[in-house]
Structure 1
Amino acid sequence: MSAWAMGERLRKLGIRLAEARSTTLFQLATALPAAVLASILGIDINVAVKWQRAAAGDWTAYAAGINRRTTAEQA
């Protein structure tokens, strides 16, 4: 199935792709540091920083989670 055909099916179901994409990106921006977001999505770091600022992202919880995993793996 092509991307266009998939998009048409989703639109018929009432799923607005642009809104879903924006929501997903904003959720990621609140959960991940801009550098990680840029790397994962293959976007410019400046764009990732703008998304993070717009979403009021606080990625300290992400950093704490990484620290907990690293500590648990070392034990």
Structure 2
Amino acid sequence: MGERLRKLGIRLAETRSTALFQLATELPSAILARTLGIHISVAVKWQRAAAGDWAAYAADVSNRTRKAPAS
């Protein structure tokens, strides 16, 4: 199958990397590590490389002011 994809111009390594980078931007590193079966430190490196910094996101969310519920 790999040979057939290469003949069609699909580069497997680049496609895999693109998919991993996309996942790293969408998932926290702990979930990414469990889902892919990789070490957490590897997941964190992928996430930083993909600029999906969930720690900064979580800090930003926790610092937002809460709006009072509409009455």
- Which band: TM-score by shorter chain? 0.7 to 0.9
User: Is 1:8 equivalent to 2:3 in the alignment?
Assistant: yes
1:34-45 paired onto structure 2 within 5 Å: 34-45=29-40
Name the SS for the 1:26 alignment partner: helix
1:64-75 paired onto structure 2 within 5 Å: none
Stretches (4+) displaced over 2 A: none
Deviation at 1:58, TM superposition (A): 4.1
Mapped to 2, the partners of 1:48 and 1:58 lie a distance apart of: 11
Structure 1 unaligned residues grouped into runs of 5+: 1-5, 61-75
Structure 2 unaligned residues grouped into runs of 5+: 58-71
Aligned CA-pair RMSD: 1.7
1:47-58 paired onto structure 2 within 5 Å: 47-58=42-53
Mapped to 1, the partners of 2:9 and 2:39 lie a distance apart of: 31
Q: TM-score, normalised by structure 2?
A: 0.74
User: Is 1:23 equivalent to 2:14 in the alignment?
Assistant: no
